[in-house]
Amino acid sequence: MVERFAGVRTQLDRACERLLSPSPGALDECSVDLESAVRQLSEWQPRLAAVAGDAAVLEEVWRLRRSFERARRLLHGAEAFHTNWMRVRGAMSSGYTPTGEPGPGLQGCRISLQA
């Protein structure tokens, strides 16, 4: 189980590295890594009670948890960035509503800029 958890941790760490430079391609690859990690952990969940007392497994699970938390923070940061960008884009394209909120703008569209 230690090797399996280490493999999932490696996937999460790879996803985190991709989230640090989030190009469209990197985000697509990141999504594959995250989905694979979730699928593997879900499959192993019923067997976790059998290895709960193994110190080596517990140590690797703590490492996995740290990688998971790092990925969670990066994903939340990306979400906040894009939510704020949608507000700015709405204000730029549609002005403001009578209540002072940015206009809705073009919802659900993807913008990709390259220098």
Q: Looking at residue 53, what is its pLDDT? A: 80
31-38's contacts with Cβ under 8 Å and 24+ in sequence apart are: 34/71, 36/11, 37/8, 37/11, 37/12
Backbone region of residue 11 per phi and psi (left: phi > 0; alpha: psi in -120 to 50; beta: other values): alpha
Structural domains of the chain, count: 1
Domain membership of residue 31 (yes or no) is yes
Per the structure, the complete domain to which residue 79 belongs is given by: 2-94
Q: Looking at residue 11, what is its pLDDT? A: 93
Distance, in Å, from the CA atom of 57 to the CA atom of 48, rounded to the nearest integer, reads 10
Domain membership of residue 112 (yes or no) is no
Domain membership of residue 101 (yes or no) is no
Domain membership of residue 103 (yes or no) is no
Instruction: Give the distance, in angstroms, between the CA of residue 42 and the centroid of all CA atoms in the same chain.
Output: 17
Q: Averaged in consecutive runs of 10 residues, what is the pLDDT profile of the chain (115 residues)?
A: 91 92 83 91 81 85 92 88 80 79 65 59
Domain membership of residue 45 (yes or no) is yes
Domain membership of residue 115 (yes or no) is no
